[in-house]
Amino acid sequence: MLACRVILFLAWTLHGSISCINLSPCSLLHGASTNMDVHVLSSRVLRPGDPNSAPSKAPLTVFDRFASNIYIAVLFAFSPPTPPNDALIAGLSKTLLLFPTLAGRLDDSRRLRRPCLIVGGCGGGALVVEAAASSNLSDHLPLEVSPDFQLLHPSPASAVHVFQVQLNRFACGGLIIGATAHHRVADGQSMSIFFTAWAQTVRGAFVDRPPVYDQSWLKPRCPPHCEFNHWGLEFTPLNSSSVNQIDVDPSEITNMLIRYSADFIQKLRRKAEGKYTTFETLIGHLWRKITVARRLEDRVQTMVRVSVNGRTRLKPPVPNEFFGNLVLNAYPQATAKDLIDEGLPGAAMMIHEAIRRVDDRYIQSFIDFGELYGDEELVPVYDVDGNVLSPMLEVDSWLRFRFEDVDFGGGGALRAFLPTWVPFEGLVMVLPGFGEDGGIDVFVTLLEEHAKMLRQISHSLD
């Protein structure tokens, strides 16, 4: 899911510190200079609204509780000229009035019947950090995936705020915005609405897609009825006594950014007989290549957890502006041998059919599950994974979220948009490309030995 398993092992703190970064090449896209010094200058907490107002409690929905108990971190890089920090911060303060949950605080203490988000009052707020770099942004473009990306955004390790942002200002006036948001407050669709609204507010434009908080679409049936088994797929079974975790030292895990040109994507679609979407085709291709790179034995069952936005699948559909979490997974699976033998058309078909099964009926069953078991301590399957998913993959697409349309004004251009470094194996994220011909960028995390093989075969049409 933007449920992506972005588990961040961070130990540094921002307050009163000076941090230095050395970016080193770790991707398939080769950047320019690798020396970037970033100095943290200040931090503050924005608390929009009346601090004397009485706080309100909003219980987390079953979709919120399905989301991983982690922060998702993303980076936006803008070439100069860009608006000054004061304008960005003032715009953020105004935007948070429309998105109060991003300035709330999570309360999942056992004394509560159900975990909730506390909004309003004197607590909560959003953390804003200002930082400066002595170099020009152009010295570091295109950005290469690096563990040091973690220094471009506030650390989630000791976070007390559900939304944090760091404004990294370069000598040329360029800007990298590094932001982290707690996944149980919002999914990728929701955060795209927020970032677009923030940019519009800074430009002085009308916010054309304000958030929707109405949860009437998520009401359980009367009586609630689970037509599908959600234990084991979405949440760990209540009677589960053992957890199958695989952990390695994070240094053994590599992140890479693979670029697929628009022309190559068309070749893939022709090879898949043109029957499936670009996303289904590309993920089918990557699923097969990663299976080969991992050297999985023929009989090993491999599965892909594919994030599916439930907004348009419910009947009636939920507006895309619904703010919160409304994502479930599809689960295509096959033995390694069958996946390879059936070729790209077969892999794309398995993904297509699995996504199709996440329909209104399935989502309503999940809503009813939340009504029946909501008072239990629900633990999503993500929270019991180790940091190695193999032989599984977890896939998320950001292609339809319009992150690439975020424009704070000033005349500069968005030059890069990507997640931070992820010390977790088995993640695939599909991103809009920033090459001259468009195309698609794919962020992949694998063990280093498997990443070496994938680099060799990622563009093979076999």
Residue 407 is among the residues annotated as catalytic for this protein:
yes
Question: How far is it, in rounded angstroms, from Cα 259 to Cα 430?
Answer: 10
Among 107, 108, 338, 407, the one annotated catalytic: 407
Pairing label, strands 253-260, 175-182: unpaired
Among 161, 183, 230, 285, the one annotated catalytic: 183
Nearest to residue 269, comparing CAs of 255, 283, 259? 283
* Residue 21 near residue 151 (C-beta atoms within 8 A): yes
Residue 230 is among the residues annotated as catalytic for this protein:
no
- Supply the residues annotated as catalytic: 183, 407
